[in-house]
Structure 1
Amino acid sequence: MANWVEFEVKMNLPYKEAQPSDPITIPELQVNAMSGAMGETDEITASPCAYYWQAPEPNEDGTMSSIIGCGPAIGEETSLPEITAAAEGLISHRKSNEIWLYFEVQPDTVRIQCVPQNGGEVETITDILPYDGGCAFDLKSGSFVYRVIAEWGDGNRVEYGFIGKWL
């Protein structure tokens, strides 16, 4: 037999109107690849894997707000978005394995690391070129987990992840 107790509590607390504040959002990173022989493209939004992001303006009470996300090491992520670049023989001005990265908020520095999707050594991508408001680099042959490390001069930092395939 179950016993139920119901009660109501009334308290007189000083009234303070809640001040809505804008939530802090991590800027997005769009990843673009050639996906078809006729120059078609595919685009995904990379996942923020680890980050420190501070709001650009103080709250109404003069304090600053920030969010911190600690994620797994490269290659240990789960559920990353995937993008597949088309095979050779494209009719395009663009290399078939070339990836374009478009940041919602342009960072001051960008570094890219990768590791084979089935495990292995972490490698650094060294040929990162500025391109049309973002940057570009070449996917490695095979299936790799990519980690894009973006840093801003104000101390903000985001590590984005995605799986890139060029088979």
Structure 2
Amino acid sequence: MSIDMDKCFAQIITAIGEDVDREGLVKTPHRAADAFRFLTRGYHQDLETVVNEAVFTSDSDEMVIVRDIEFYSLCEHHLLPFIGHANVAYLPNGKVIGLSKIARIVDMFSRRLQIQENMTREIAEALLQATDAHGVAVQITARHMCMMMRGVGKQNSSMSTSVMLGAFRDSQSTRNEFLQLIGR
């Protein structure tokens, strides 16, 4: 079953009381559909394709951290954006992953209808699966438009989530080192 998103957006625009034939809105249903497909492209990606064999043998066993990976996602409850950054770390176990692949994993999961708590776990589990690391840590901070633009209207609030797997969960000192290095 194929749904014509252009028509759906035209119906939404009409439902709010606008004239979809007005000059400024004539192409809006098509542009909105294109934007929505882009913002949710993570549904059409999978871990194997994103990693693209960019896992390499390495003797490195020290913590690898990629900080401040910006992301944009859509809240699954209101379809409003949440915007933030992810800090991702892993402890190699004979393999390292290409640096850009960590950002691509973050993008893959953020480009789906999400809640931040689940996205944090999905990123951590995917990196662990891709690298078979001794441990993975993911910490995310984001600002949610559903808190800012509607409802409670809190402009300065942000949400922080973290998931610690393997050595990051088992070792307080490893977890503390990660948190100290990302400034938390």
Does the alignment reach a TM-score above 0.5? no
**Which TM-score applies when normalising by structure 1?**
0.26
Which gives a bigger RCO, structure 1 or 2 (Cα 8 Å, sep 6+)? Answer: 1
**Which TM-score applies when normalising by structure 2?**
0.24
Q: Name the one with the larger strand percent.
A: 1
